[in-house]
Structure formats: C-alpha cells, structure tokens
A = this chain, B = another copy of it.
Amino acid sequence: MEKKNSGTVGVKEIARLANVSIGTVDRVLNNRVGVSEKTKAKILKIIQELDYQPNIFARRLASKKKLRFATLIPQVSDETTYWEAPLHGIKQAANEIKDFGIEVVTFFFDQNNKESFSDSASKIAVGEFDGILMAPMFEEESIAFIELCNHKKIPLVFINSDIPGYNNLCYIGPNLYQSGYLSAHIVHYLSPVDKKTLIVNISKEIDLHHHLLRKEEGFRNYFEQHGSTNKLTKIDIRQTDYPHIKQKLSDQLKQDDYNIVFVTNSRVATVAKYFEEHKVEGIKLIGYDFLEDNIHYLRNKTIDFLICQKPQEQGYRGVMSLYYHLVLNTHIEKEQFMPIDIITRENYQYYSN
C-alpha cells in the first residue's frame, strides 16, 4: 500500500494527537453527546490548528444519515404553466443531491384555493422534514406555517415571492419593484415624448395582487423621476377568461390612441391574442415571463419584450440552498434577487431560464 497523501490529516491523526480514539474524535466532529468538556476542548483545539477538512466522500460512504426536503409550490394549471419551470429546477436539484442521501418530496396547491395551501402545509408539518422550500403566496396561511416551522426549527426557503420580516433561511426571487422600473425605462426608450401608455393588471381577486402593484409602483416611479410627459392609464381586469379580457381591452382601447401596452404579469399572451385577432397594429406590447404562449407571440412580433426572472433557477437554487445550509453548513445570503432578463425574439432561443 502506498502511503496516504502527505498533506491530508484525518480523524486518525487527530485521535493520535489528542490521545483518544477516533470514535471520540467523531463524536465532537459531529456534535454528538457523551464527551467530557475537557477532551472535547482538547480535540476542538487540534481540529482548529490542523484546519481539518473532513473527507466528504468517506463521510457519505460511511454515513447512513438521510435528509428529507419538502417543496410547496402551485400546481401547473390550465391558467398558467409558469410553475413548470420552478418545478423543473427543483427536480434538477433533487437529482443532483440524491446521491448525497437527500430525498426531495414535492407538494402542491391550487393558486385559486387558499385551503389547498393549508392542506398541503399540514401534510408537510406531519411529515418530519428537515428542510422546506415554499412559494408563500397566501400571506395569512403562509405566516401560520412559517411560525410552525420556526418553532420546530426547520429551515425555510421562499421562492418567487417574499414575506419579509420572518425568520426564513432565504428568499430567492425577483425584485419586483426594480423589474417594473426597468420596464418603464424600456417604454421610455420606445416612446421618448408625449406618448400614451396603458398599464394592464390581469388577476383574480385571490391572486397575490400586491405583487402586481409592486411592479406598477416601480413602473410609475420611473416616469415620475424622469419627468416624463408620457401619459399613464391603468385598467384592472379581475376575471381571467378571454371573453372578459377581450371586452375590457376593447372598451379601453377605444378611449384613447395608446402607443404602448404594459401587462404586469405573464397574462400578456392573452392581450397578444386580442391584438392578433383584431389586427391591432402600431402598439408596442411588453409583459412578463418565459412561457410557451408568450414566446409564440414574441416570435410572431405581437409581443415586443418579455421580462423574465429565471423561474427554473429559483427552484434549483432554493433546494440547493437547503442542501448547502444543512449539509455543508455554508452561509446563505438572505435575499437572493434573480437577474432581470430582457427577452426579445432575437435572444429567446439562448435563454436558459
């Protein structure tokens, strides 16, 4: 047998130096009970001095420890396929860390049904999970669950939207205000002076409406700060079926000659559909999210710009953050804002969401 790598120190060497057995070294290494303060201190000191780094391969090979993560996000619905991407990211991460003894169990809820959220949360609560990723869409229900997890000391990651002021491990998602602000700048480029912009919010009552308001706030603030002469009008459409949206749009577009329409969420495809059907021309259309429908209208030139926030990466990084925190004990940034990507028909092919 060859001699082992010169540089590397292991439990054996530490044990020798401390005059104990490797079992005892292992106990302090893994913070297990049953070591006298005195020997513990002695071993800790040696570990420090040697800057001991455990061999992760040996650790994994020998360990029988398993961790279980739960994820709670909206189910993919007919209304929107947005959540396919985060789910895909979650599965990608799960696949990457499964060899490290981590199991990821996915739970879902219906975006139009607060109860379904609470139901799934309850299932997670009794499931004895070691880490949880969630999209905290419904504020009240989320907070109840957050407090439960805090009590049980289970680390919690938020993706896509944040509930600030709680003791979560981290938030991974967009800076909504800034993405609205950016959209406004694009609008400003498209129509420097004296133009008319229509802001369209399409969302049911139950949706997290304050989401959209935050984007709108950024959008409006840009124009205020830049003393723009653009005229901003806004409509709220609170039913999401096409006939309804069509009616509302048609009424609104009669009232004025708009140059730009800015849709504050992924439902921009519905507006695009209207534009196409009614041969609306000369109005620039901007909206959100890398969804198949939206890309379709981006390609056929009905939509001009899509603002995207790497939904897949949100899921991926969310799960990986739990892993880094729990397994590798790495420091996790509390607020992780995603890039704000500007997608056009020239670069969507290369967008690795």
Given contacts A181-B346, A344-B182, contact A61 B64 (CB under 8 A): no
By a CB distance below 8 angstroms, the chain B residues around A304 are 189
Contact A350 B339 (CB under 8 A): yes
Of A50-58, A201-209, A240-248, A273-281, which stretch is located at the interface?
Answer: A50-58
Contact B352 A347 (CB under 8 A): no
By a CB distance below 8 angstroms, the chain B residues around A345 are 185
By a CB distance below 8 angstroms, the chain B residues around A340 are 346-347, 350
By a CB distance below 8 angstroms, the chain B residues around A178 are 346-347, 349-350
Least Cβ–Cβ distance between A344 and chain B, in angstroms: 6
By a CB distance below 8 angstroms, the chain B residues around A338 are 350
Given contacts A58-B61, A178-B347, contact A342 B342 (CB under 8 A): yes
Given contacts A189-B189, A189-B190, contact A56 B350 (CB under 8 A): no
Least Cβ–Cβ distance between A61 and chain B, in angstroms: 4
**Subset of 6 A-B contacts with CB under 8 Å:** A55-B61, A57-B99, A58-B61, A339-B352, A341-B347, A342-B342
By a CB distance below 8 angstroms, the chain B residues around A347 are 178, 182, 339-342
By a CB distance below 8 angstroms, the chain B residues around A350 are 175, 178, 337-340
In the bound assembly, the distance between CA atoms of A2 and B63 in angstroms comes to: 12
Least Cβ–Cβ distance between A152 and chain B, in angstroms: 27
Contact B346 A182 (CB under 8 A): yes
Nearest B-chain residue to A4, judged by Cβ:
B64
* Residue A60 CB within 8 A of the other chain: yes
Complex interface residues of chain A between 196 and 239 (CB less than 8 A to chain B): none
Least Cβ–Cβ distance between A353 and chain B, in angstroms: 9
- 9 further A-B contacts with Cβ under 8 Å, apart from A2-B64, A340-B350, are A55-B61, A57-B99, A181-B346, A182-B346, A338-B350, A339-B347, A339-B352, A340-B346, A341-B342
In-complex Cβ contact of A99 among B56, B99, B186, B351 (8 A): B56
Contact B61 A185 (CB under 8 A): no
By a CB distance below 8 angstroms, the chain B residues around A55 are 61
By a CB distance below 8 angstroms, the chain B residues around A56 are 57, 99
In the bound assembly, the distance between CA atoms of A190 and B187 in angstroms comes to: 10
Given contacts A338-B350, A342-B347, A344-B185, contact A57 B64 (CB under 8 A): no
Nearest B-chain residue to A59, judged by Cβ:
B57
Least Cβ–Cβ distance between A268 and chain B, in angstroms: 17
Least Cβ–Cβ distance between A182 and chain B, in angstroms: 4
In the bound assembly, the distance between CA atoms of A186 and B351 in angstroms comes to: 17
Least Cβ–Cβ distance between A200 and chain B, in angstroms: 20
By a CB distance below 8 angstroms, the chain B residues around A182 are 344, 346-347
Interface readout for A49-84 with B: 1 if CB under 8 Å, 0 if not? 000000111101100100000000000000000000
In-complex Cβ contact of A57 among B2, B57, B342, B352 (8 A): B57
Nearest B-chain residue to A337, judged by Cβ:
B350
Nearest B-chain residue to A183, judged by Cβ:
B346
The 10 closest A-B pairs by CB, nearest first: A182-B346, A340-B347, A342-B342, A57-B57, A57-B60, A57-B61, A339-B350, A337-B350, A58-B61, A185-B346
